[in-house]
Amino acid sequence: MARKLKILFIASEGAPFSKTGGLAEVIRDLPIALARRGHDVRTVLPRHRGPIPFPVRRHPSPLGVPMGLGEQWCAVLEPELPPGVGPVYLLEHDHYFNRSGVYGDPWDYADNLERFTFLCRGAFQLCRALDFIPDLIHCNDWHTGLCPVYLNTVERAGVFGETASIFTIHNLGYQGWFSSEQLPVTGLSSDEFHHRSLEAYGKINLLKGGIYHSTLVTTVSPTYANEIQTPRYGHNLDGVLRDRSPDLFGVLNGIDETLWNPEIDPHIPASYSLADMSGKAICKQQLQRLCNLDDRPDIPLVGIVSRLAHQ
Protein backbone atom coordinates (compact mmCIF):
# COMPACT_ATOMS: atom_id res chain seq x y z
CA MET A 1 0.00 0.00 0.00
CA ALA A 2 1.53 3.31 -1.09
CA ARG A 3 -0.28 5.46 1.44
CA LYS A 4 0.81 5.19 5.06
CA LEU A 5 -2.14 5.34 7.43
CA LYS A 6 -2.63 6.41 11.01
CA ILE A 7 -4.56 3.52 12.58
CA LEU A 8 -6.03 3.25 16.07
CA PHE A 9 -6.96 -0.19 17.42
CA ILE A 10 -9.40 -0.33 20.28
CA ALA A 11 -10.39 -3.51 22.09
CA SER A 12 -11.48 -4.84 25.46
CA GLU A 13 -8.40 -7.08 25.82
CA GLY A 14 -5.02 -7.57 24.23
CA ALA A 15 -2.12 -9.91 24.92
CA PRO A 16 0.11 -9.83 26.88
CA PHE A 17 -1.75 -7.31 29.08
CA SER A 18 -5.10 -9.15 29.28
CA LYS A 19 -6.49 -12.21 27.57
CA THR A 20 -9.59 -14.40 27.69
CA GLY A 21 -9.41 -15.75 24.14
CA GLY A 22 -8.40 -15.28 20.53
CA LEU A 23 -9.37 -11.60 20.40
CA ALA A 24 -6.38 -10.76 22.58
CA GLU A 25 -4.03 -12.61 20.22
CA VAL A 26 -5.28 -10.62 17.22
CA ILE A 27 -4.93 -7.34 19.09
CA ARG A 28 -1.31 -8.19 19.83
CA ASP A 29 -0.32 -9.50 16.40
CA LEU A 30 -2.27 -7.54 13.78
CA PRO A 31 -1.03 -4.07 14.83
CA ILE A 32 2.56 -5.39 14.67
CA ALA A 33 1.98 -6.75 11.16
CA LEU A 34 0.55 -3.42 10.01
CA ALA A 35 3.37 -1.44 11.65
CA ARG A 36 5.85 -3.56 9.69
CA ARG A 37 4.20 -2.24 6.54
CA GLY A 38 5.00 1.31 7.59
CA HIS A 39 1.69 2.40 9.11
CA ASP A 40 1.48 4.42 12.33
CA VAL A 41 -0.46 1.95 14.47
CA ARG A 42 -1.50 2.54 18.09
CA THR A 43 -3.70 0.53 20.45
CA VAL A 44 -6.01 1.51 23.32
CA LEU A 45 -6.95 -1.05 25.97
CA PRO A 46 -8.41 -0.99 29.47
CA ARG A 47 -5.89 -1.40 32.28
CA HIS A 48 -7.23 -4.63 33.74
CA ARG A 49 -5.96 -6.13 36.99
CA GLY A 50 -2.69 -8.02 36.77
CA PRO A 51 1.01 -7.44 36.18
CA ILE A 52 2.29 -5.52 33.16
CA PRO A 53 5.28 -7.41 31.73
CA PHE A 54 7.15 -4.24 30.68
CA PRO A 55 8.36 -1.04 32.32
CA VAL A 56 5.55 1.53 32.28
CA ARG A 57 5.49 5.28 31.78
CA ARG A 58 2.56 7.11 33.37
CA HIS A 59 1.41 10.12 31.36
CA PRO A 60 1.76 13.29 33.45
CA SER A 61 -1.83 14.50 33.05
CA PRO A 62 -5.02 12.57 33.80
CA LEU A 63 -7.54 12.13 31.02
CA GLY A 64 -11.07 13.52 31.34
CA VAL A 65 -13.70 11.36 29.65
CA PRO A 66 -17.22 12.71 29.01
CA MET A 67 -19.91 10.23 29.92
CA GLY A 68 -23.66 10.41 29.73
CA LEU A 69 -23.82 10.49 33.54
CA GLY A 70 -20.98 12.99 34.03
CA GLU A 71 -17.26 13.25 33.39
CA GLN A 72 -14.89 10.53 34.60
CA TRP A 73 -11.11 10.71 34.93
CA CYS A 74 -8.42 8.12 34.36
CA ALA A 75 -4.68 7.73 34.18
CA VAL A 76 -2.93 6.75 30.94
CA LEU A 77 -0.19 4.11 31.18
CA GLU A 78 2.20 3.49 28.29
CA PRO A 79 4.30 0.31 28.46
CA GLU A 80 7.83 0.53 27.05
CA LEU A 81 7.55 -2.04 24.26
CA PRO A 82 10.23 -3.63 22.05
CA PRO A 83 11.23 -1.91 18.79
CA GLY A 84 8.79 -2.44 15.96
CA VAL A 85 5.76 -2.59 18.21
CA GLY A 86 3.45 0.42 18.01
CA PRO A 87 2.45 2.27 21.18
CA VAL A 88 -0.12 0.68 23.49
CA TYR A 89 -2.07 2.90 25.89
CA LEU A 90 -3.81 1.47 28.93
CA LEU A 91 -6.69 3.46 30.43
CA GLU A 92 -6.44 3.03 34.20
CA HIS A 93 -9.74 3.46 36.03
CA ASP A 94 -9.87 1.22 39.08
CA HIS A 95 -13.62 1.36 39.56
CA TYR A 96 -14.26 0.10 36.04
CA PHE A 97 -11.33 -2.20 35.33
CA ASN A 98 -9.51 -3.28 38.50
CA ARG A 99 -11.61 -6.41 38.85
CA SER A 100 -11.10 -10.15 39.00
CA GLY A 101 -12.63 -10.64 35.54
CA VAL A 102 -12.53 -8.82 32.22
CA TYR A 103 -16.27 -9.09 31.53
CA GLY A 104 -17.70 -10.69 34.67
CA ASP A 105 -17.07 -13.01 37.58
CA PRO A 106 -18.64 -15.36 36.70
CA TRP A 107 -21.65 -13.53 35.24
CA ASP A 108 -21.50 -10.30 33.26
CA TYR A 109 -20.89 -7.21 35.36
CA ALA A 110 -24.06 -5.15 35.72
CA ASP A 111 -22.26 -1.95 34.68
CA ASN A 112 -20.64 -3.32 31.51
CA LEU A 113 -22.37 -0.70 29.37
CA GLU A 114 -20.84 2.04 31.49
CA ARG A 115 -17.41 0.35 31.51
CA PHE A 116 -17.17 0.02 27.74
CA THR A 117 -18.77 3.39 27.08
CA PHE A 118 -15.86 4.75 29.09
CA LEU A 119 -13.37 2.81 26.94
CA CYS A 120 -14.87 4.11 23.70
CA ARG A 121 -15.19 7.74 24.77
CA GLY A 122 -11.77 7.53 26.40
CA ALA A 123 -10.17 6.46 23.12
CA PHE A 124 -11.38 9.65 21.41
CA GLN A 125 -10.21 11.81 24.29
CA LEU A 126 -6.80 10.15 24.28
CA CYS A 127 -6.38 10.83 20.56
CA ARG A 128 -7.07 14.51 21.23
CA ALA A 129 -4.57 14.59 24.08
CA LEU A 130 -1.90 12.95 21.88
CA ASP A 131 -2.76 15.07 18.84
CA PHE A 132 -3.15 11.78 16.98
CA ILE A 133 -6.19 11.89 14.72
CA PRO A 134 -6.38 8.50 13.00
CA ASP A 135 -7.36 7.90 9.41
CA LEU A 136 -8.94 4.68 10.58
CA ILE A 137 -10.26 3.31 13.87
CA HIS A 138 -10.29 -0.49 14.01
CA CYS A 139 -12.98 -1.62 16.49
CA ASN A 140 -13.35 -5.16 17.77
CA ASP A 141 -16.50 -6.94 18.98
CA TRP A 142 -19.43 -5.46 20.88
CA HIS A 143 -17.32 -3.81 23.58
CA THR A 144 -16.22 -1.20 21.02
CA GLY A 145 -19.46 -1.06 19.05
CA LEU A 146 -20.15 2.46 20.28
CA CYS A 147 -17.04 3.86 18.55
CA PRO A 148 -18.52 3.83 15.01
CA VAL A 149 -21.75 5.24 16.46
CA TYR A 150 -19.86 8.13 18.07
CA LEU A 151 -17.94 8.73 14.82
CA ASN A 152 -21.22 9.20 13.00
CA THR A 153 -22.86 11.34 15.69
CA VAL A 154 -21.16 13.34 18.45
CA GLU A 155 -17.70 13.22 16.81
CA ARG A 156 -18.71 13.75 13.18
CA ALA A 157 -18.50 17.54 13.13
CA GLY A 158 -15.10 17.76 14.85
CA VAL A 159 -11.53 16.62 14.23
CA PHE A 160 -12.66 13.03 13.55
CA GLY A 161 -14.88 14.09 10.66
CA GLU A 162 -12.68 12.32 8.09
CA THR A 163 -11.92 9.23 10.20
CA ALA A 164 -13.21 5.92 8.85
CA SER A 165 -13.97 2.81 10.91
CA ILE A 166 -13.59 -0.93 10.54
CA PHE A 167 -15.65 -3.10 12.85
CA THR A 168 -14.40 -6.67 13.23
CA ILE A 169 -16.72 -9.40 14.49
CA HIS A 170 -14.68 -12.08 16.22
CA ASN A 171 -17.69 -13.92 17.66
CA LEU A 172 -21.23 -12.98 16.65
CA GLY A 173 -22.68 -14.90 19.59
CA TYR A 174 -21.72 -12.12 22.01
CA GLN A 175 -23.56 -8.91 21.17
CA GLY A 176 -23.73 -6.56 24.15
CA TRP A 177 -27.41 -6.51 25.10
CA PHE A 178 -28.66 -3.87 27.55
CA SER A 179 -31.94 -2.38 28.67
CA SER A 180 -33.17 0.61 26.68
CA GLU A 181 -33.40 2.50 29.96
CA GLN A 182 -29.59 2.54 30.10
CA LEU A 183 -29.21 4.60 26.90
CA PRO A 184 -28.40 7.81 28.86
CA VAL A 185 -25.19 6.09 30.06
CA THR A 186 -23.84 6.37 26.50
CA GLY A 187 -24.53 10.09 26.17
CA LEU A 188 -26.34 9.43 22.89
CA SER A 189 -29.66 10.91 21.88
CA SER A 190 -32.76 8.73 21.83
CA ASP A 191 -32.67 9.36 18.07
CA GLU A 192 -30.11 6.50 17.88
CA PHE A 193 -32.55 4.01 19.37
CA HIS A 194 -33.95 2.68 16.09
CA HIS A 195 -33.70 -0.49 14.03
CA ARG A 196 -30.81 0.72 11.83
CA SER A 197 -28.69 1.68 14.80
CA LEU A 198 -28.67 0.47 18.42
CA GLU A 199 -32.20 -0.93 18.80
CA ALA A 200 -32.95 -4.64 18.57
CA TYR A 201 -36.13 -6.24 19.95
CA GLY A 202 -36.69 -3.26 22.23
CA LYS A 203 -33.20 -3.38 23.75
CA ILE A 204 -29.78 -1.86 23.12
CA ASN A 205 -27.53 -4.06 21.01
CA LEU A 206 -24.00 -2.63 20.77
CA LEU A 207 -22.86 -5.10 18.13
CA LYS A 208 -25.72 -4.09 15.86
CA GLY A 209 -24.87 -0.42 16.33
CA GLY A 210 -21.26 -1.09 15.38
CA ILE A 211 -22.29 -3.03 12.27
CA TYR A 212 -24.62 -0.35 10.99
CA HIS A 213 -22.38 2.65 11.71
CA SER A 214 -18.97 1.34 10.64
CA THR A 215 -17.45 2.12 7.25
CA LEU A 216 -16.57 -1.55 6.68
CA VAL A 217 -17.30 -4.76 8.58
CA THR A 218 -14.86 -7.66 8.72
CA THR A 219 -14.81 -11.03 10.38
CA VAL A 220 -12.35 -13.84 10.98
CA SER A 221 -12.65 -15.86 7.74
CA PRO A 222 -14.48 -15.82 4.40
CA THR A 223 -16.43 -18.89 5.53
CA TYR A 224 -17.62 -17.20 8.72
CA ALA A 225 -18.58 -14.08 6.76
CA ASN A 226 -20.94 -16.23 4.69
CA GLU A 227 -22.23 -18.28 7.63
CA ILE A 228 -23.26 -15.30 9.75
CA GLN A 229 -25.53 -14.07 6.98
CA THR A 230 -27.71 -17.17 7.40
CA PRO A 231 -30.45 -17.76 10.01
CA ARG A 232 -28.61 -20.80 11.39
CA TYR A 233 -25.46 -18.89 12.35
CA GLY A 234 -26.66 -15.30 12.32
CA HIS A 235 -27.80 -15.07 15.97
CA ASN A 236 -30.78 -12.94 14.87
CA LEU A 237 -28.49 -10.43 13.10
CA ASP A 238 -28.29 -12.27 9.77
CA GLY A 239 -30.67 -9.76 8.18
CA VAL A 240 -28.53 -6.86 9.40
CA LEU A 241 -25.41 -8.51 7.98
CA ARG A 242 -27.10 -9.24 4.65
CA ASP A 243 -28.10 -5.57 4.59
CA ARG A 244 -24.42 -4.65 4.93
CA SER A 245 -23.09 -7.48 2.75
CA PRO A 246 -21.49 -5.14 0.14
CA ASP A 247 -19.27 -3.83 2.97
CA LEU A 248 -18.72 -7.17 4.76
CA PHE A 249 -15.44 -9.03 4.25
CA GLY A 250 -13.99 -12.21 5.70
CA VAL A 251 -10.26 -11.88 6.40
CA LEU A 252 -8.73 -15.16 7.50
CA ASN A 253 -7.11 -15.03 10.94
CA GLY A 254 -3.40 -15.83 10.89
CA ILE A 255 -0.86 -17.00 13.43
CA ASP A 256 2.42 -15.57 14.65
CA GLU A 257 4.96 -17.98 13.24
CA THR A 258 7.59 -16.79 15.71
CA LEU A 259 5.42 -18.23 18.51
CA TRP A 260 3.65 -21.16 16.83
CA ASN A 261 6.43 -22.86 14.90
CA PRO A 262 7.27 -26.53 15.61
CA GLU A 263 10.75 -26.04 14.12
CA ILE A 264 11.78 -23.74 16.99
CA ASP A 265 9.16 -24.31 19.73
CA PRO A 266 11.02 -25.13 22.99
CA HIS A 267 7.88 -26.49 24.68
CA ILE A 268 7.39 -29.65 22.60
CA PRO A 269 9.33 -32.93 22.98
CA ALA A 270 10.78 -32.87 19.45
CA SER A 271 10.94 -30.34 16.64
CA TYR A 272 9.64 -31.02 13.14
CA SER A 273 8.98 -29.30 9.81
CA LEU A 274 7.38 -29.96 6.45
CA ALA A 275 10.72 -31.27 5.26
CA ASP A 276 11.17 -33.64 8.22
CA MET A 277 8.02 -34.77 10.05
CA SER A 278 9.68 -37.46 12.17
CA GLY A 279 9.58 -35.31 15.31
CA LYS A 280 5.79 -35.08 15.09
CA ALA A 281 5.50 -38.82 15.75
CA ILE A 282 7.55 -38.34 18.93
CA CYS A 283 5.25 -35.51 20.04
CA LYS A 284 2.21 -37.69 19.42
CA GLN A 285 3.72 -40.56 21.36
CA GLN A 286 4.54 -38.34 24.34
CA LEU A 287 1.03 -36.85 24.34
CA GLN A 288 -0.55 -40.31 24.27
CA ARG A 289 1.53 -41.31 27.28
CA LEU A 290 0.78 -38.05 29.11
CA CYS A 291 -2.97 -38.64 28.66
CA ASN A 292 -2.78 -42.35 29.57
CA LEU A 293 -3.81 -43.36 26.05
CA ASP A 294 -2.58 -46.39 24.18
CA ASP A 295 0.91 -45.77 22.77
CA ARG A 296 -0.04 -46.62 19.18
CA PRO A 297 1.13 -44.72 16.06
CA ASP A 298 -1.73 -46.13 13.94
CA ILE A 299 -4.52 -44.44 15.94
CA PRO A 300 -5.35 -40.82 15.04
CA LEU A 301 -5.01 -38.28 17.84
CA VAL A 302 -7.26 -35.23 17.54
CA GLY A 303 -7.32 -32.18 19.81
CA ILE A 304 -9.41 -29.01 19.92
CA VAL A 305 -9.00 -25.74 21.81
CA SER A 306 -12.41 -24.13 22.26
CA ARG A 307 -14.94 -22.72 24.65
CA LEU A 308 -17.48 -25.12 26.07
CA ALA A 309 -20.38 -23.05 24.78
CA HIS A 310 -23.65 -23.64 22.94
CA GLN A 311 -22.00 -22.73 19.62
Measuring CA to CA, which residue among 169, 167, 122, 162 is closest to residue 148? 167
Provide the pLDDT for residue 198: 98
Return the pLDDT at 304: 84
136-142 average pLDDT score = 98
* CA 44 to centroid of chain Cα atoms: 10
CA–CA distance, 73 with 162 (Å, rounded to integer): 27
**pLDDT value of residue 258:** 82
pLDDT in tens, 83-118: 989 999 999 999 999 999 999 999 999 999 999 999
User: According to the model, what pLDDT value does residue 183 have?
Assistant: 98
Predicted local distance difference test score (pLDDT) of residue 1: 54
Question: Residue 309: pLDDT band by 50, 70, 90 thresholds?
Answer: confident
Taking only the tens place, the pLDDT of each residue in 145-203 is 999 999 999 999 999 999 999 999 999 999 999 999 999 999 999 999 999 999 999 99
Calpha distance 292→137 (Å, rounded): 49
The secondary structure of residue 130, as a DSSP letter, is H
Counting residues of the chain whose pLDDT is more than 70, the rounded percentage is: 99
DSSP 81: P
Alpha-carbon distance of 256 to 249, in angstroms, equals 22
Q: What is the mean pLDDT of residues 229-248?
A: 97
Q: Quick one: pLDDT at residue 250?
A: 98
List Cβ neighbours of 176 (8 Å cut-off, separation of 6 or more): 112, 113, 116, 142, 143, 145, 204, 205, 206, 207
Comparing CA positions, the residue from 202, 148, 140, 198 lying closest to residue 170 is: 140
Q: Does the pLDDT of residue 16 top 90, yes or no?
A: yes
DSSP state of 150: H
pLDDT over 90 percentage in the chain: 91
pTM recorded for the entire structure = 0.92
The secondary structure of residue 213, as a DSSP letter, is: H
